[in-house]
Structure 1
Amino acid sequence: MGDKWDHLVCALLVSEVFFGDPEGREMIDCSRVPEKRWKGKCYVCKTRKGCAIECSESKCGLEFHVTCGLNEDLCIEYTEGKKGAVVAGFCNPHTELWKKQQQTGKFKIVARDY
């Protein structure tokens, strides 16, 4: 926004970011992103640059950048719901549990309620 630039994938997968022009996917607006996201430390790259999302498993405190998560093949799911888009992203250990749960149904992992 302004003189800054944003990753398009972050605009799609960070729930508080939206487009001023959704049809053209232009004018990314980050004004609703909480300050704590800008101060979060990515456990993958170990930096505080950019916006970090929290692992969606409710008892996990790990944070990561969307781009770092995608590079590490972490589970980041986007679902359209009745109340708008829902994004769930999991750190490496919880990505593995999420995948096993989806395959077997034996594990109990629930996405954080935002």
Structure 2
Amino acid sequence: IIDPEKGSSCQRSATFCPTGAISKFTDKDGTFGVEHFPGDCVKCRCCADICPQQALTLSDEVFAVDLLSGAVERYEMKPLVHPVDDPHQIWRTMKDLLGCDQVYER
């Protein structure tokens, strides 16, 4: 279960999912987020462990109809505070995360 309101739109869960049960998507209109394929999930917890906002919860209830039909859960995310095309995106994100200006880049 993914709570997109609680998340930071980082998509780390998709980056670190070893099975591809969670993957990134970006539509032509700029909408982006993650898609979850319950049938591919092996409950390794990588997604929940890597999420800094604890926006993912693993459920023991998986419905057979979802597995057999190849259901896909689509979660749209809010725009990033610091866009990826900003050359100082990592620095600005760390500054916000740490809550101080004492972040230096080389």
Q: Which has the higher strand share?
A: 1
TM-score range, shorter chain: under 0.3
RCO comparison, higher one (Cα < 8 Å, 6+): 2
Larger radius of gyration: 2
Return the TM-score normalized by structure 1: 0.24
